[in-house]
Amino acid sequence: MASTTNLRIRRSAAQLHALAGVEREIRSQDSSSRRKYLRDFTQAYRSYQSVLSPQQITTQLGTADTILVGDYHALPASQHFAASLLEDRAQPGDRPVVLGVETIFSRDQHIVDEWWRREIDEEEFRQRIRFDLDWGYDWAPFYQLLATARENAEAIYGLDCMPREDLRKIGARDRHAAHKIAEIRQRHPNAVILVLFGESHLAPGHLPRQLSEQLAGDRVLTVLQNVDALYWRAAGEACERVEAVQVRDDVVCVLNSTPLEKYESYRLHLSRWGRTEAEGPDLGPTIYNLIDSLLRFLDINRYSSHNGNQPKFLVDLLPEVYGPSSGARLGRLLTRTKTRENALAGMLRNAEERGSVYLPQVNAFYVREFHMMYAAEEAARFLHHACRGLPLRSGAEHTRAVADRFYTRTVEHALAYFGSRVLYPARPATPGETGHTLPRTAPDCRRKKFDASAQLLGYMLGSALYEAYLSGSVSTATLRRLFLTRLEEPGKAKQTYFELAAKLNAGRRKARAAGA
């Protein structure tokens, strides 16, 4: 079993490469992170007492009177978590729940009440609270939270006041919010008050201290989300995935997203704020950063003219990136290249289901909606193609034998899945992947089952490869050779699959024997 330090390093290496690039760009556009108020938050939560099970989290939530939930505004997962927490807490026969949110000014409470009574529709509500003008983050996850509260809670309250842009006045906003929460307690003495507020406000000396003065009789529980230092520390735990940790007696932190996912979401918002609504955010830097991080992780020099058997100057093979607003141009490009109709349908289906897809026939990304897990998988898929010289761009794929194409696709899925795990370790294992012995006989690769079988087998291989990487039995040099292996020679892909499967199966048997 790998040591705590080694596990932390292996789980974090690729993400840290990617994070460095994102943070550089964010700092160039937003220097506020250096302000003392924000530093107070990052310095307050550097370690934790213990790992918490889901049942332990539920128990703590069940005994709290007021729950302060930290919100990373640019990350939809933050608002989704708050909505699920509210829905879980509002059980029939239990205490009622009241929701308070930073997103809405207290001055607009009458508008909230009109929407609550269904006197105005969603669009009028959104415009009158000036959501896009005064807030500017994603509407859909926030509205889902409000809709969940309208169905399950006793009331919704806006808690914030102006000015939001001036950090010199941010302490006054904390005091204002604390008084508003105290007023809610007076109106709803028996309710559980759930508050969603920006994470930096939840440093011990900020809103929690103000609230303790106002609600001396309440048990206040602070629920942080995805604090960087706690995430990196938890990466060294032996368990596959840490869902929550106990920071202090009255503070817990849930881990439902990675730091890379957080900051890429914020970078995309910065990009969107600098462009028109029709243009949308510029997704190119995000995709290129994921690719560059994998190159650094694998120690592949994208500027080299000779690096093993990779084509020279891999930097010149970087793909075009198309967003939702440029989908029509991509469609015309695919038509000109005579992409087969069934292949095109499969690609578009992937984009619809996963938000992004890499199209090797034209060496292009299409990102309909950014999801880190799938974008990371497609970035690794591109890199595997690029390391082989973009073989599908020549259109020669269908001149090869079916078995060669099947095992090439299987290895591609394996390396794409592996890449997604090193960039996004929070990715849950697909049922049927973990712990299974890899097949040593050829599966059914007929056309009807070709894609599904290749993906299932590839994901199983990729999962085993990631386990072996974490345990230290597969080196970065071995991974680099896999990405650089030319699979276009007859029989090479099948040979690569079976050799790798045999090595990984042997490693698993050895680990089980050692454990026994």
Average pLDDT over residues 61-66: 95
Q: Which two tokens stand for residue 120?
A: 């105005």
pLDDT above 60 for 402: yes
Q: Which two tokens stand for residue 329?
A: 């141009």
Average pLDDT over residues 30-39: 77
Mean per-residue pLDDT of the chain: 88
Of 42-51, 183-192, 347-356, 461-470, the least confident: 347-356
Q: Which two tokens stand for residue 427?
A: 């990715």
- Phi-psi region for residue 151, left (φ > 0), alpha (ψ -120 to 50) or beta? alpha
pLDDT above 80 for 163: yes
Domains observed in the chain: 36-257 (3.40.50.11550), 400-516 (no CATH)
The rounded Cα 217 to chain-centroid distance in angstroms is 38
Q: Which of the four pLDDT bands, split at 50, 70 and 90, describes residue 264?
A: very high
Average pLDDT over residues 107-114: 94
pLDDT in tens, 306-330: 656 666 788 888 898 888 877 677 7
| Strands of 192-198's sheet in order across | 50-52, 244-248, 251-254, 220-225, 66-71, 192-198, 97-105, 155-160
Peptide bond into 163 cis (omega under 30): yes
Q: How many whole angstroms separate alpha carbon 211 and alpha carbon 209?
A: 5
Judging by beta carbons within 10 Å of its beta carbon (0-12, 13-18, 19+), is residue 440 exposed, middle or buried? exposed
Average pLDDT over residues 466-477: 92
pLDDT computed for residue 64 by the predictor: 96
Q: How many whole angstroms separate alpha carbon 72 and alpha carbon 75?
A: 6
pLDDT computed for residue 276 by the predictor: 67
pLDDT computed for residue 491 by the predictor: 92
* Residue at 387: amino acid letter: C
Q: Which of the four pLDDT bands, split at 50, 70 and 90, describes residue 8?
A: confident
Average pLDDT over residues 153-171: 88
Average pLDDT over residues 16-28: 82
| DSSP state string for 195-209 | EEEEGGGGSTTTHHH
Nearest residue to 419 via CA among 24, 13, 3? 13
Average pLDDT over residues 22-50: 84
Average pLDDT over residues 112-136: 94
User: Higher pLDDT residue, 338 or 243?
Assistant: 243
Name, of 34-38, 100-104, 309-313, the range with top average pLDDT: 100-104
Q: How many whole angstroms separate alpha carbon 462 and alpha carbon 419?
A: 9
Average pLDDT over residues 6-19: 87
pLDDT computed for residue 509 by the predictor: 80
User: Higher pLDDT residue, 182 or 29?
Assistant: 182
Kindly give the pairing relationship between strand 192-198 and strand 155-160.
unpaired
Percent of the chain whose predicted confidence (pLDDT) is above 70: 89
- Phi-psi region for residue 226, left (φ > 0), alpha (ψ -120 to 50) or beta? left
Q: Count how many residues are written for the chain.
A: 516
Cβ contacts of 274-282, under 8 Å, gap ≥ 24: 278/325, 279/325, 280/323, 280/324, 280/325, 281/323, 282/323
pLDDT computed for residue 500 by the predictor: 94
Report helix, strand or coil for 245: strand
Name, of 73-87, 358-372, 494-508, the range with top average pLDDT: 73-87
Of 10-14, 436-440, 495-499, the least confident: 436-440
Q: Which two tokens stand for residue 236?
A: 């060294």
Report helix, strand or coil for 160: strand
Nearest residue to 501 via CA among 416, 439, 445, 455? 439
pLDDT above 70 for 395: no
Give 193's strand partners: 66, 98
Q: What is the pTM of this model?
A: 0.83
The rounded Cα 233 to chain-centroid distance in angstroms is 18
Q: How many whole angstroms separate alpha carbon 125 and alpha carbon 142?
A: 13
